[in-house]
Amino acid sequence: MKILSQNTAFGGMQGVFAHESDACKCEMTFAVFVPPQAVLERRPVLWYLSGLTCTHQNVMEKGEYRRMAAELGLIVVCPDTSPRGNDVPDELTNWKMGKGAGMYLDATEAPWAENYRMYTYITEELPTLVAEHFRVDMDRQGIFGHSMGGHGAMTIALKNPGRFKSCSAFAPIVEPSTADWTVDAFEKYLGPDKAKWREYDACALVADGARFPEFLIDQGSADSFLENGLRPWLFEDAIKDTEIGLRLRMHERYDHSYYFISTFMDDHLRWHAERLG
């Protein structure tokens, strides 16, 4: 693991690191904020998954999470959104596909299957690496994310309810198998059989029996992607006859940007801290 940068912030350490990934067959970069409490004891870890076109840097520079994470004693890990490198397949003119758009799934179709294994990277490889190098309490894990990352956080939580104790999302894509801006990527990554898409779709997972105790979702009503891409009301409908809890908060005048995310970041960190103990 290479140290790319380390900076002191709110008594803790904000670091950026790189390593060779077996899952993605390339060098991957991720950020970790370590609160001051982690000097003496293992602390809960919170995974933040970013959205389309983003890297670890977007939330690290705009998310405004460090002050509250330091106060609450939360380790925050921010992975990249896709594999990177000159040898990694991409669609240069399509921001919804390829680099920056890994969708947090394991691709099965050529040429994507060799590198685009973000689900395995997030759920297996990166947690193992983080546990080796940082004082994390792996029995207390939470996950959250934005947009494509909100989709990733919700599906990963639903598929791993024994691992994660909390999950929240900012403007998540709750049903990517039918959303205008994700259907194309799902078909290219996973093939034309839509039955295979269901394991990476929060609404479909719930319909197929997946369960998680509760979710917090914040959504801006002025979000330009709300009607065709995000549609949180679909998840609200999906859980109606289940025991899954949902706190869906709609916010007038807020859009899809990090101005929106940073406004409600403290609320999400407190939500996770309450459930992680």
* Ramachandran category for residue 3: left, alpha or beta (phi over 0 → left; psi -120 to 50 → alpha): beta
Catalytic residue among 147, 166, 168, 177: 147
CB 260 within 8 A of CB 170: yes
Q: 133 catalytic, yes or no?
A: no
Q: Using alpha carbons, select from 75, 30, 47 the residue that is nearest to residue 144.
A: 47
Catalytic residue among 56, 146, 151, 256: 256
- Strand-pair category, 214-220 with 136-146: unpaired
Q: 82 catalytic, yes or no?
A: no
| Torsion, CA 14, CA 16, CA 19, CA 21, rounded to 10 | 90
Catalytic residue among 80, 90, 223, 272: 223
Radius of gyration of the chain, Cα coordinates, nearest whole angstrom: 17
Q: 106 catalytic, yes or no?
A: no
CB 200 within 8 A of CB 103: yes
Query: Which residues does the annotation mark as catalytic?
Result: 147, 223, 256
